[in-house]
Amino acid sequence: MIAVAALAVTTLVFSGATASAGTPPQPGSDNSGLDVNETATLWSQDPDECLSNAEYENRFGESRTAMQELGNCTDITFKEPPDTAERWTKHYYESLEGEGSGTATSVYPTHAELTDSVLIADAHATTFAVQPSTRTHLDPNETVHYIAPAGTLRGFVDYRVRLDSDSSIRAHGIDEVRLLRDGDVVETAGGTHTPTFDYSFDRGGSATLTLEADISARVERDRGNETEIITDQVTVSQDLDVEVYDLQASVYHASYPNGDSGIAIYQAQPWHGYTLSADGDAKVRGVWRYYTARDTNWDDLTYATRDQTETVASDALPVYVHAYPSELGPRAEPIRDGPEILEVWGTESPSPKPAIDETVDIEVVSEPYTRSYGLALRHDDIDSDAVAVDGIVRGVSADLVEPNGGAEREIRESNLSVEIVDSNATAVTLQIELRDAETDAPIMLENPFGLPRFSLIGHEFREGYITIGDQRVRTNRQGVATVTVNQPGIYTAEYHPGSWRSHSPAYLGDTATETWHPLATPTGWFTLVVDVIRYAIPFAVALYAAKRIGSFLKMKDSQ
């Protein structure tokens, strides 16, 4: 069915701010519903002029708030994804209305993918914004656009109709607009220049979203004695590569001998933070921080007619949330009494700083950082029912999965001992023994056959090792290991257990100390005496000879 529209030149109505290309709205001109302080945080991608208060008042004719002053001199970042970008974008999208579009003028952003046909020219379907979403700067070569599994895509569709002097329009319009994911239709809308799709995806992962529109026109052409009817139709589209941010987390629990709780959390995608207690006081914040910036593709709009094109500054500036790895890194809150971060698992990535716009002044990491996918934590007040993993996309929290039915792993004390079992004057053999402090069962760390963990006659190979001096050893099936040292000193053995995530029961580390010196043994004393006598004989002979020569010379003098 062909939509029929009134014959009029395309006009676009923008209510609100008037902006120059690449410049945010001027103070006091915004009616988006954001207050002046919220609006001041939006424009991280604009140059920081850092005007003095006098210069500001002279230029804009009004004073400014402290937040406006800060935003004019630097870029403001956030601890968590803010909602200001979405609120701003929604308002200015609603103020973008195509009225009677499609006859003589087509309006499009400079990055639109234009299509021409027999009757239709400068046709396009362009995505305005997808939200909630976060553009995440992972490294210098990778910026991923994560979108919420359920959100809103807003688009803009326009075109113009080619007309000769002897032609008139019978009908024209946008027949249908569609949203597709990887080629499959998600939702359809009727003929509109500003289609809005509220989507809900049942799976995450990489996706290509396509905004697609069918546009048609029918023109009557006068050929003298006869009338010719020409019909034309085009399909226009634009693809957007995104990552559907369907956050999933695996959670493992453990109990320590003193009553503390242990928890390990894994997630494949970037994460914002953990909440570990019902009152929300025990938290862990990840490496990511946030800023907001406009989509510069919409800085300008082009008005195209048959005879000319004119590009003007756009009043509709979609704003996005951006995530970047900060200098702060993962940390527990509260700092003193909060959870203890035991281990961080992840991959090392180079700093994304070179890929971030030079006008953005933020504390992005300058050195390689760990893009973590898991943390092991210990705290005295972890409420397993209150654990939550928040994502880097606003409003998205992880679905928690507890493998093995959520069974809690037990962590026990270990008992490490070290003693001298053999010695001589130059070396000593130390025997190290590692046992379960509760059951006295030996703890085996050695892997006899180089295989993955296994059970052999009741003995299970465990990850972990023992250090002593500059050596690293592992105990056998009897929980025993021996080392030989030849330097006197104090030797401290330390047990470094494998993670409790992969062992049940698991163990805490332990230390034991032994001191060795040759004089501490009878053999050492005997050797010392022999050495003293051996080294003393030459001196005694020399002393005796010196005395005899002295006596001889004295006798000569007396004569």
437-478 tens-digit pLDDT: 999 999 999 876 555 554 433 445 688 999 998 899 999 999
Top pLDDT among 516 and 552 is at 516
Please give the span between the terminal C-alpha atoms of the chain, in angstroms, as a whole number.
149
Per-residue buried b or exposed e for 457-478, using 16+ beta carbons within 10 Å of the residue's own CB: eebebbebbbebeeeebbbeee
The span from the CA of 371 to the CA of 69, in Å, is 34
Residue type, 314: S
Range with the poorest average pLDDT among 103-117, 123-137, 490-504: 490-504
Pairing status of strand 388-391 against strand 271-275: antiparallel
Range with the poorest average pLDDT among 46-50, 349-353, 403-407, 527-531: 527-531
What is the structure's pLDDT at 358?
Answer: 79
Helix (H, G, I), strand (E, B) or coil at 346: strand
- pLDDT greater than 50 at residue 180: yes
What is the structure's pLDDT at 76?
Answer: 79
The span from the CA of 170 to the CA of 168, in Å, is 6
- pLDDT greater than 50 at residue 338: yes
- pLDDT greater than 70 at residue 533: no
**Distances in whole angstroms, Cα of residue 283 to Cα of each of 146, 309, 381:** 24, 55, 11
What is the structure's pLDDT at 30?
Answer: 54
34-72 tens-digit pLDDT: 767 777 777 766 665 655 656 665 666 665 566 655 555
Q: Contact, 254 vs 411, CB < 8 A?
A: yes
Q: Contact, 315 vs 128, CB < 8 A?
A: no
Top pLDDT among 253 and 533 is at 253
229-237: average pLDDT: 95
Radius of gyration of the chain, Cα coordinates, nearest whole angstrom: 38
401-409: average pLDDT: 79
Percent of the chain with pLDDT over 70: 76
The span from the CA of 98 to the CA of 380, in Å, is 60
Top pLDDT among 380 and 181 is at 181
**Distances in whole angstroms, Cα of residue 477 to Cα of each of 229, 369, 435:** 93, 40, 11
SS (H, E, C) 177-212: EEEEECCEEEEEECCCCCCEEEEECCCCEEEEEEEE
356-363: average pLDDT: 82
What is the structure's pLDDT at 10?
Answer: 34
What is the structure's pLDDT at 257?
Answer: 92
**Distances in whole angstroms, Cα of residue 345 to Cα of each of 404, 491, 501:** 21, 31, 13
Q: Contact, 431 vs 482, CB < 8 A?
A: yes
Percent of the chain with pLDDT over 90: 54
Residue 312: name the closest of 328, 331, 299 by CA: 299
SS (H, E, C) 325-345: EECCCCEEECCCCCCEEEEEE
Residue 466: name the closest of 453, 476, 458 by CA: 476
Q: Contact, 412 vs 437, CB < 8 A?
A: yes
Token digits of residue 499: 């993670």
500-529 tens-digit pLDDT: 887 878 999 999 999 987 655 555 545 545
269-316 tens-digit pLDDT: 999 999 999 888 899 999 999 999 999 999 899 999 999 999 988 888
Q: How confident is the model at residue 16 (pLDDT cuts 50, 70, 90)?
A: very low
Token digits of residue 39: 């609006």
Strand blocks (E) in 340-427: 340-349, 369-379, 388-391, 399-401, 409-412, 414-423
Q: State which CATH number among 2.60.40, 1.20.1260, 1.10.3470, 1.10.357 fits the domain covering 412-520.
A: 2.60.40
Top pLDDT among 226 and 497 is at 497
**How does the average pLDDT of the chain come out, rounded?**
82
What is the structure's pLDDT at 77?
Answer: 85
The span from the CA of 446 to the CA of 157, in Å, is 68
What is the structure's pLDDT at 15?
Answer: 34
- pLDDT greater than 70 at residue 547: no
What is the structure's pLDDT at 55?
Answer: 60
What is the structure's pLDDT at 101?
Answer: 61
Q: In DSSP terms, which residues pair with 436 in a beta bridge?
A: 414
Q: Contact, 81 vs 393, CB < 8 A?
A: yes
Q: Contact, 106 vs 304, CB < 8 A?
A: yes
Token digits of residue 264: 């390990």
Q: How confident is the model at residue 92 (pLDDT cuts 50, 70, 90)?
A: confident
Range with the poorest average pLDDT among 91-100, 195-204, 233-242, 280-289: 91-100
Helices (H) and strands (E) in the chain, counts: 5, 34
Residue 132: name the closest of 186, 180, 84 by CA: 84
Return the DSSP state at 408. Answer: P
Top pLDDT among 539 and 13 is at 539
Token digits of residue 18: 């008037």
- pLDDT greater than 90 at residue 32: no
Q: CB-based contacts of 190: which residues, under 8 Å, 6+ apart?
A: 3, 176, 177
Output the CA angle 28-34-40, nearest 5 degrees.
Answer: 65
Q: How confident is the model at residue 6 (pLDDT cuts 50, 70, 90)?
A: very low
The span from the CA of 402 to the CA of 248, in Å, is 11
168-172: average pLDDT: 91
The span from the CA of 503 to the CA of 454, in Å, is 11
- pLDDT greater than 80 at residue 553: no
Token digits of residue 420: 């001298």
- pLDDT greater than 60 at residue 251: yes
Residue 251: name the closest of 402, 404, 409, 411 by CA: 402
Instruction: Look at the pTM and tell me if it is higher than 0.95.
Output: no
The span from the CA of 274 to the CA of 261, in Å, is 15
Please give the biggest Cα pair distance in the chain. 166
